[in-house]
Chains A and B, each alone.
Chain A
Amino acid sequence: MSKNKKLDIQNDFTPVTPDPDYILQVNALKKYFPIKGGIFSRTVGYVKAVDGVTFNLKRGSTMGLVGESGCGKTTTGRTILRLSGEKTGGQVLFNGREVYDLNTKEMRKLRTEMQIIFQDPFSSLSPRLPISEIIGEAVREHSIVPKEEFDDYIDQVMDNCGLQPFHKDRYPHEFSGGQRQRICIARALALNPEFIVCDEPVSALDVSIQAQIINLLNDLQEKYGLTYLFISHDLSVVEHISDTIGVMYLGSLVEYGKTEDIFKNPLHPYTKALFSAIPVPDPSVKMNRIVLEGSIPSPANPPAGCKFHTRCANCMERCKHETPVQREIEPGHFVHCHLYDGQGKTNEQEA
């Protein structure tokens, strides 16, 4: 029976009620990918890519999502947009509506309101469509603008993203990485979205271009009041662009709060270690790095209790058995760690 136990998906959470303050409410979101094995490809386990992520996103703000490679940042972004099949558990409320309750038609309509910019601008553009089609296809599909304004509209969107009108008839392979990322942004923007998931939009670009793209994203946010979920592993970029930051480890959010609070006062041992690794552009400064022991455990078989306990310098006995609950240490600054037991308030106390 032990086999079955492993296949059981625990999906008990307290549902949140829609709150008009927030454009996006993510509650205990889970996305597991089945591991198939044996002759008949039965499911023998799950990769727990996203394992109970909770956060709220205010309209017009930017949330940074950071963590090391493979911690589930990208999957979180895609699962919120319902782009990687069905969720495994939890809630995603977009403007108060459960994204996963929508039928195909409603979902297609909602897609215009929530867009994504992918990490790799080289593979995320259809290679045999000209730029005007890449940007305009969905505009036509969803009738965003009347037919006679279509050309002007595409020109305007391209102009907003720093592209020239004569680029329209070219194909993606004729552009540089930075220009391609501008095309991706223009494509997302053309649908007039409220919310954009930026999935490491600058990590494939070189540093000078990174700054241009970040500034472009900032300008567009001001102009159109966009909300961003900015996924990145570059902490300096995230500090620059984000209002709030979520730190992920092995599929879970370990700390979440305002950017200043997190940078000034990191609480979780993992956040501390992560921030100590930010390089300082001064060779005379001796960096005080906290080096984590070992490597990230397999998300198919995460450690019991606190997932971070295997690498934590402050590991206590209870960390090995008991999953820490979310505690609000200062207003809007949440942490999952037993070190802060007795401080702040938990969700239950609030309720």
Chain B
Amino acid sequence: MSTLKFIVKRLLISVVILFFVALIIYVLMRCLPTSYVEAIARQKSMQPGSKSFEEWMAQLNAAYGMDRGMVAGFFHWIGQALRGHFGDSWFYTVPVTQKFRETIWLSFVIGAIAMFFELIIAIPLGVIAARKQYSKTDYTISVLAVAGISLPTFFFASLLKLVFSVHLKWFDLFGLVGRNYEQLTALGKLLDKAHHLVLPIVTLVVISVGSLMRYTRTNMLEVLNADYIRTARAKGLSERKVIYRHAFRNTLIPLVTIVGGSLPGLFSGALITETLFSIPGIGLTSYNAMVAGDIPFSMFYLTFLAILTLLGNLISDILYAVVDPRVRLA
């Protein structure tokens, strides 16, 4: 009962937050120096025998609904959005939701695979590093983790491309499919895509594994030094039971919160990685839209991200209560 009340309360607060987030995004989009309308108008007015730039501007502004002021424009957008009308993308010239549906699942698959590897690499490494604190193993793992955290995505991705695409020629430099994709069988097509996704996923995993590993290690260390671990040892339990039943279970709580909170992030796409590898997921699509000043698509995508973030926080709070019997949501 109280859980339901808690969720309803949080959802109501989220709506208010969402309203202001959307407002800020809209204002920012309108203030961008790259205006889609302006670019089109300039292009059209360059054509021989065309109307003047000012006339094109007036006509296009009216056509794209940019003749409204910022506040009026925002309320118009939100009014339409509440009815589920997100309009057509200016840049892609298809309905925003259609473009979104076409690109989101690719990003989701990439994100899910990357997260799977992140979890099965980071958590065991964190536990090992904590159990052997200050040993050579611990230092090696920690140094690698910090290296992973510190590597900028674009640099690491370029490095991978240089080694594996340029020198070793194992992978294509970019793209989701190879040159002869159309001639392949169904299985061949799947394998072709998988082959092209190796480097992007490696990039994502290496970049993200470090922080989760550090987080696991820190939490595990805290638990391993707790008195009740000494109690468990004094009970004469096997070391495996001490570690997994007593220590790791208690480490899981903050971990579940972090991982659960990042689950909605699977839908947000990997903007930098997708752009670098030209993977037509939601990240690259939204990047192109934003660069072009495509207000309907950007508004939809950024508001969607805001909803995901709010949802992520809510999920992690609920999960916290699920894994920790001491926490009662209030």
Contact = CB atoms under 8 A, between A and B. Distances in A.
B226 interface: yes
User: From DSSP, what is the main secondary structure of chain B's interface residues?
Assistant: helix
B228 to A, nearest CB: 4
B326 to A, nearest CB: 5
A141 B326 contact: no
Contacts of A124: 227-228, 230-231
A128 B249 contact: yes
Nearest to B325: A171
B232 interface: yes
A298 B231 CA distance: 29
Contacts of A81: 234
A256 interface: no
A16 B60 CA distance: 101
Interface in B192-238: 226-228, 230-238
A344 B326 CA distance: 60
Interface string B233-273: 11111110100011001100100000000000000000000
Given A124-B227, A126-B246, A115 B234 contact: yes
Contacts of A171: 325-326
Contacts of A184: 231
Most buried by B among A110, A116, A124: A124
Interface in A118-141: 118, 120, 123-129, 137-138, 141
Interface residues of A, number: 32
Contacts of A129: 246
Contacts of B234: 81, 83, 111, 115-116
Nearest to B229: A126
A120 B230 CA distance: 12
Nearest to B323: A128
A304 B208 CA distance: 54
Interface in A168-189: 171, 173, 184, 187
Nearest to B326: A173
A123 B237 contact: no
Interface in A79-123: 81, 83, 104, 107-112, 115-116, 118, 120, 123
B237 A138 contact: yes
B134 interface: yes
Nearest to B230: A83
A142 interface: yes
A191 interface: yes
B324 interface: yes
A264 B325 CA distance: 53
A124 B234 CA distance: 11
A108 B236 contact: yes
A123 B226 contact: yes
Interface of B: 134, 226-228, 230-239, 241, 245-246, 249-250, 253, 324-326
11 contacts: A83-B230, A109-B236, A110-B236, A115-B234, A126-B232, A126-B246, A128-B249, A128-B250, A128-B253, A171-B326, A184-B231
